[in-house]
Chains A and B, each alone.
Chain A
Amino acid sequence: MTGLDALPPGASVRGRADGFADYLVGPAARRRQLADGFIETFEAWGYGFMVTPLIEPLDTIAAGVGGAQQSALFRFMDSDGALLALVGERTVSVARVVATQLHDGPFPLRLCYAGSVLRNQALNAGRRRESLQAGCELIGADGLAADAECIALAAAALERGGVEHIQVDVGHADFIPGLLDSAGLDATAREEVLAALARRDLVAVESALEGTDAADAERRLLLAFPTLRGGREILDTAAGGLRGERPQRALQELAQLWDLLEAHAITDRVHLDLGAVRDWDYYTGPTFEVFSVDSGFALGSGGRYDSLLSRFGAELPATGFVLHVDRCHDSIVRRAGAAAEPAMVQVSWAHDAYPRALELSRDLRRRGVACACDLAAGGDGDVQVSTTGVEWAHLELDARAGIDAAVAALAARTP
């Protein structure tokens, strides 16, 4: 018996739970560097790094996110019977911390974080159940300059991390609900259209609008849904014929936001997207998503969520975003290929040269060269330094030629 037949039914294959990943030496290092780079960029923009727990009471999470997201959490029971969950995102945790511990400011508060988030998704779906997210929250600032800063920072962090050809789509959470309000739809039709949009089912949007007495300008915009994209000029096109105050105000905010993004010098990577489908219960103002042609998923997303902190007892406006480190890593690998195992410098020695080999190792490390020293005698000469690089080139040199020469030679061969 071989293969599958060789395994008795029910035998443990000592595998890994589906949807979780091991990252081996090369990819793990690059993934960590990517997350570190994001955090360094956030810190360079004045965002303070903070850490929140991997587990939160379900009540806390439920105050922040909707039912669909709650049901996708890994949940379990605490020893006192209270329900706990592994966090599915970390903005709610940051909101809890701000409302309970940082409510005296000084505002605006600039906070950033990185950590695992978990979602209990279907087995064998090819989706990650644990992923690494890095994010920023800008709390206590209600102006559009705060939203523009978040968009510019998300773009800066991704570009510094080596994600190429990014594209930011900026929308407004109040535009479509406002449009539905001013279209004169009855409550049933309004709910139907919003639900269809949330499902991204544009066929259902169309049929929900059919036979309603939605005004022409609003109907035209709702049906043009996926094409409501472009530069500042689409705001004027969209505004034509619109009477409602709510969608007009959303368009005005986007116009001001565009000017701020121009001042940040990133409008060449920005599209305004009036049809952006986001969680309308959560977001209250401008929203954005970041894409790259190398990924079928959004690499980052964010927006204004002015009502979240009040659910924790603090009336504070807030905006922020999250970057999906694993999707960014996938996108870089797709373009540049898998990360090579980092070159390792090996110090070997013979006879009684162990103390000198250790001394050389210390010196190399002081000079920023990572190295491992052999644990037993084995080299040909007294002390020898070798390295294996990407192409497994073998470099041997006599350490007696001088450490400076050794370091220079290693630096030249180490990628």
Chain B
Amino acid sequence: MKGLRVALPGGTLFESACDLLNAAGVARLDPTRFDRELSIRDGDNVYVKVRPTDVPVYVEMGGCECGIVGKDVLWESSRECYELADLGFGRCRLVLAAPRDSALARGAWPQALRVATKYPVSARRFFAARSLNVVVIRLHGSVELAPLTGLADCVLDITATGRTLAANNLVEIAEAGTSTARLIANHAALKTRNESVGALAVALRRAAAERITAGAA
């Protein structure tokens, strides 16, 4: 067994992940091919497209030796994987946001707070440092609706441009973290397939650095 199995995250990071693998000279992937096939062999490696939250599961359990996934997914995951490289793309921020006309938006923190979020683990950790009486309400989508309907006082959610927040009359109150795509690896694979995993990490780091330099120029 020479090649690696690499888990790629479906969704917003997918095309950038394929682009970076191609730019690094590691693969020649056509993202649209994954519309028809979930698993594609390219050179020695096999690439599978899975839900982003499933990437750490595949990697921890040894279904894939490596994976590409957003840091925001790793915050929520209890899976134990090695995080080898920051790949730079897919940059977004996890922020606490509240309705523009709320007391919270004016900087007054209430005694009790209901927070709607798709990131309950991050929310608990964020508020653990701020001894507040917080109720975390886990939702699976369209978190912005929660304050509008009175379900929650504020949201803890990912934003890339801030447009969705603004469109829903929400303003940012605090930042909990910044997320970018990461290369992760299985514990045993890092040892037993060290050369292949190391080569992939080096190639992707270099390509990511070049992309950042090119973007800055």
Contacts and interface: CB of A to CB of B under 8 A. Distances in A.
Interface string B55-81: 001001111000000000000001011
Contact of B191 (A125, A167, A199): A167
A201 interface: yes
A196 B193 CA distance: 23
Count chain B CB atoms within 10 A of each CB in A169, A203, A204 and give the residue with the most. A203
Contacts of B61: 126, 296
A292 B186 CA distance: 13
A204 B78 contact: no
A296 B190 contact: no
Task: Please classify how large the interface on chain B is, using the bins under 10, 10 to 19, 20 to 34, 35 or more.
Answer: 20 to 34
Interface in A300-359: none
Contacts of A227: 194, 198
B80 A169 contact: no
B186 A296 contact: yes
Contacts of B187: 200, 296-298
Given A126-B61, A200-B82, A203-B86, A293 B192 contact: yes
Contacts of B189: 296
Contacts of B188: 291-292, 295-298
Given A203-B182, A297-B62, A298-B187, A226 B192 contact: no
Contacts of A125: 78
A271 B86 contact: no
A229 B182 CA distance: 23
Contact of A226 (B57, B80, B201): B201
A226 B190 CA distance: 8
A15 to B, nearest CB: 22
Interface in A252-310: 271, 273, 289, 291-293, 295-298
B192 A229 contact: no
Nearest to A227: B198
Given A122-B78, A226-B198, A291 B191 contact: yes
B105 interface: no
B86 to A, nearest CB: 5
A227 to B, nearest CB: 6
A122 B85 CA distance: 27
A226 B196 CA distance: 12
A226 B80 CA distance: 16
A204 B83 contact: yes
B214 interface: no
Given A293-B192, A293-B193, A226 B86 contact: no
Nearest to B202: A227
A295 B62 contact: yes
A166 to B, nearest CB: 10
A299 to B, nearest CB: 8
A289 B189 CA distance: 13
B84 interface: yes
Nearest to A122: B78
A332 to B, nearest CB: 15
B60 A296 contact: yes
A202 interface: yes
A201 B192 contact: no
B1 interface: yes
A165 to B, nearest CB: 8
Contacts of A289: 191
B124 to A, nearest CB: 15
A122 B60 CA distance: 14
Interface string A180-213: 0000000000000000000111111010000000
A273 B82 contact: no
Given A122-B78, A203-B182, A298-B187, A292 B85 contact: no
A204 B182 CA distance: 11
A298 B62 CA distance: 11
A292 B192 contact: yes
Count chain A CB atoms within 10 A of each CB in B81, B82, B186 and give the residue with the most. B82
A202 B57 CA distance: 19
Interface string B179-209: 0001000111111111001100100000000
B79 to A, nearest CB: 8
A291 B189 CA distance: 9
Contact of B62 (A200, A204, A296): A296
A125 B80 CA distance: 12
A293 B80 CA distance: 18
Contacts of A293: 1, 192-193
Q: In the A-B complex, list the 6 residue pairs whose CB atoms are closest, starting with the nearest.
A: A296-B62, A201-B83, A200-B82, A203-B86, A291-B188, A291-B192
6 contacts: A200-B82, A203-B83, A203-B84, A227-B194, A227-B198, A296-B60
